[in-house]
Amino acid sequence: MSSEPRARFAICLLENAQHELLFVRRAFDAKLGAGQWGFPAGHIEQGEYPAECARRELDEEIGTGHTLALRQMHAPVRDNFYGGHYEIHLFHFYWTAGVVLLNEEHSEYRWVTKSNFAELDTVLGVDEDIYYLNIWPVKYLDSDKLPFSHE
């Protein structure tokens, strides 16, 4: 693995007052994770700061009609499921108000509790993102989708 990442990504985890996370379902014609659930996310452009990318992707993917507060960030992290070639910047936001207006990249959205999380067919890395930000206890995550032991 080279020391420079092939690409950098900002991933946004949004949590509401009921401790649910916002999941968006990738369009069925998406190149990566078609029909699977994930978080609003995107490629960090050349010269763009990760936080700028996170806000841009949120506006593009779920619209601008919402109010958020940044709770925490975790970065940089190298991916564990795609060969370690990508640098990931995680952002945990608190949803205070608003509506979700999806763009064409996603077919639906859902607020999900930790108890219902296992029902979703998620893209690789979602469990790990939740773990890194310590949003839900490990017992609600799929240990097969975490790259390390957590006993």
Domain of residue 65 covers: 7-145
The answer to whether residue 1 sits within a structural domain is no
Distance from C-alpha of 10 to C-alpha of 30, rounded to nearest angstrom:
18
- Give the per-residue pLDDT at 58: 97
Which CATH number characterizes residue 119's domain?
Answer: 3.90.79.10
The alpha carbon of residue 65 and the mean position of all alpha carbons in its chain are separated, in whole angstroms, by 19
pLDDT of residue 81: 75
22-41 pLDDT, tens digit each: 999 999 998 888 999 999 99
Q: Give the global pTM.
A: 0.93
Q: Distance between CA 35 and CA 150 in Å, rounded? A: 29
What is the model's pLDDT at position 2?
54
**151 found inside a domain:** no
pLDDT score of 145: 85
Distance, CA of 81 to chain centre: 14
- The separation between the first and the last C-alpha atoms of the chain, rounded to the nearest angstrom, is 28
Per-residue pLDDT in tens (0 to 9) along the chain, 151 residues:
457 888 999 999 999 999 999 999 999 998 888 999 999 999 999 999 999 999 999 999 999 999 999 999 999 998 877 778 889 999 999 999 999 999 999 999 999 999 999 999 999 999 999 999 999 999 999 988 887 655 5
Does any domain span residue 99?
Answer: yes
| Burial class of residue 145 (count of CB atoms within 10 Å of its CB; 0-12, 13-18, 19+) | middle
Residue of 100, 74, 89, 79 lying closest to 20 (CA atoms): 100
Task: Answer yes or no: is 150 within a domain.
Answer: no
Number of domains the chain contains: 1
Q: Which of 15, 21, 13, 10 is nearest to 95 (CA)?
A: 15
Vertex 69, ends 63 and 73: CA angle to 5°? 100
Is residue 65 a part of any domain in this protein?
Answer: yes
- The answer to whether residue 79 sits within a structural domain is yes
Helix and strand tally (H, E) in the chain?
2, 7
